[in-house]
Structure formats: C-alpha cells, structure tokens
Structure 1
Amino acid sequence: MKRILGLICVLTVLLTTPALAFNQADVDRLAAGDKNMQGADLSGAPLFADPYDGVNFSGANLSNATMIGRVFQNCDFRGANLRDAQFRSARFLECDLSGQDFSGVSFSHQQMMQCTLRNARFNGAFVENVLMHQNDIAGAKFDKATLKGGRWYQEDGTGITWDNIKFQQPSIVLDAIKISEVYKPYLSSQIPVGKVQWVASSGRQVDPSKVQLNKKVKTYEPVTPKGVQKGMVPKAP
C-alpha cells in the first residue's frame, strides 16, 4: 500500500509540474554566442549566460523565461513573446522593445536605459524598484499595473495610459518626465510629481471627468526610495 501511495505521489508531481517548452538547440546557440535568435523558442528557459550584446530576439518566444542579473544591450525584441517572463536585476540598454507586450510580467530591481518602448503594454504587470532612464515610452499602457518604488528620469511618457493603476510604498519618483495633463489630479495625489512636464493629451483623447482613479487606488504619502538623491540617477542594482 505504501508503495502504491508513493507511486501516486510521484505521478501527481510529474503531472502537475509544467514541462519546459524551450528548444534546447536554441538555448545552446544563445549560450554559444549566436546573435541571430530570430524566432527562437526560449519559452520557460533560465537565461544565465554572459551579457547579450546586439542579439536579435525579434519574433522569439521568451514567455515564462527567467532572466536573473542579465544585461541586454542593443538587442531587438520587436515581436518577441515576453508574456509572464521573470526579470530580476536585469538591465536593458539601448534595446528596441517597441510594441512589446509585458502584460503580467514581473520586473524587479532592474534598469531600462535609452530603450524604445513606444506603445508597449504593461497591463497588469508588477514593476518594483525599476530605474527608467531616458527611454521613449510614448503611448505605453500601464492599465491595472502595480508600481512600487523606483525612479523614472527624463522619460517621454506622452500618451501613456494609467487606468486603474496601483501604487505601493515606497512611492515611485517621477523626475523630468512628460505625462498627459489628463492624469495630473490623480497622479498628484499619489506620487511626487514636482518635475513632471504636463502635456496636452493629443494622441489619446480622454474625458477628464471619466478619469476617477483616486476612488479605486489607496493614496500613500510620497516616499523617496532608499539611495535616491535629488537630481541624481542611482547606480544600477
């Protein structure tokens, strides 16, 4: 009886554990330094190799992939699948992530610097202690996303949508960023907005009377993230 119960337990674990779907040959090519990963299947793969410089990930499947402490520089992610990927202490430098779907993605203690994120979707994403520096994020969607700590510096956020967004302590710091004036009353009640440049909502026509996010999101006192000094860009995590 004990043996039967043991076999049942083993089968239960095997059946409930998600299979790794990535193509091992694609993982091996990436680890070997192949820069043409267009259309590669890296879904669910743990990426721990050396920094990736100039790699073409366009059209690649990176869903559920784990990227810990990785550096991506001058990489092309256009059309790549990054749904439910885990980014921890990763750095994206001068990468093209325009139109990318980050819905449900978890970002933690990472950097995005001088990247193109136009019209990217962060719907439902969890963004914690992320440094955003001089990126083009015009038209990005952060609907129902959760932002916790971090700093956005010199961003072009024209046309960003913040519907039903949630802020957690410590508050995010917006520094020299362009945001549609439609969200001024809401954001001013949630986070430090002293250096925000409010711009007319030309790209997305929004009726200010219908932006009633304050009633759905708890207000916190503005708190500057640890290590962030006024007028300075913090070092990479």
Structure 2
Amino acid sequence: MFYWILKYLVVGPVLKAIFRPWIVGAKNVPKTGAAILASNHLSVMDSIFLPLMIERPMSFLAKSEYFTGKGPKGWATKWFMKGTGQIPIDRSGGSASEAALNTALQVIGRGDLLGIYPEGTRSPDGRLYKGRTGIARMALVAKVPVIPVVMVDTDTMLPIGSSRPRLVRVGMVLGEPLDFSRYEGFEDDRFVLRSVTDEIMVALQRMGGQAYVDDYASKFRKQAEESGAAPTSAFS
C-alpha cells in the first residue's frame, strides 16, 4: 500500500511533472510473471525513475547503507527506500553474496520484477563496466528472462559529488527480453555464468552506446576516491 501511495499519489506525480521522464520499450516488460531488469548504473536516481515509469511494481537490490543512516537525513532515506520497494543487501561478498542471491530469488519466486545493476556499483565516469556474474546465476536458477535497460542522463541530473538534482529530463530504453533457457542446469558453471553476463553487457552497450571497460567499476571508483579525483556523493 505504501508503495502505491508514493508512486501514484505523492512522489510519482511530482517527479513526473518536474522532470518529465520518458521511456522507450515499456512493452518489453511482461504483463505478468517474474523477470529481471538489468540496468546500467549512472546515478542513485536510476532506482527512482525506472520503477516510477514501469507500470508493474518492481524491487531493486540496494546497498544496506541506505537503510542504516542516522538523523533526519538517514531516516528520510530509509523511509523512501522502503516505500519505493528497495531491498537492503550486504555487498561485502562471501556469505553476504549468497544471502543477496536468496533475497533476489524470493522476489522472483513471487512472480515479481527485480531490478539489478550488473556492474555492481555506479559508474564513476559514465562508461559501462564489466558485469558481475551474480545476475547470470539468478537468471539461470530462477529460469526468468532478463530485460536490458539503459538509463539516460541520470548522471547529468545528479553528478557524483552532488546531493541536489538538476532540472534535466531523464529517460530509459528497455530492450527485448534475453532468453537464457539454453543454459538450464549450468547455473554453477563459471564459464557459462561469465558468458551470460557478457551477453547482457553487450546488449546494454549496443543499446546505450557507452564506452565499455573490461574491468570492474568498483576498482575504478576506489582508485578515484583515494586520489581525490572524484568526490563521493551523499548518495553513493
């Protein structure tokens, strides 16, 4: 109920009126049944505008820090994330990764839509980075299609280092669902998982035209932050 109030009565109408977001390929989202929406990740605004423009409810796996902030700002962030269907996960790896997988499978098991950023973190410079194979394992275990999604200009709306959105019209392009049923039974084969993940990243690169980096975004973000070249946003 809270989700519907925020989306249709409170936050949704206001954001649509101010930013006039656009969407192409909404028909590629199935009317019923589970699916994974795999998106590039340019800004925290991605997790706001994509669910806003999709008719069906959807959930994103969000880093747990969004739900543990202190004070009025931390409370407001936690309130908004929960209200918009975000699910906290621990990204520290190991057993935490397995817990994240189980959480995702619960969402998919209900027949819902799940949003995932294959890059694992936000792009530090607008380029598209190597995908992590967790999304492939989720898709193969749950036997669901993957819909590639390209977010457009959300990084211009809220650049790294900024906490105040700019008045920019953002958009999103949804591609045709990718079917990986041919790999059924290979969800533990790391070579298959890498192949599936790479296929998803190729689809994103072709749709969005981003320059591709064959390495993980987390590595570049850490290097940039340590050098002071890229300030960390309050929403990182």
- Superposition TM-score, scaled by structure 1 size: 0.26
More helix by share: 2
- Superposition TM-score, scaled by structure 2 size: 0.26
The structure with more radius of gyration: 1
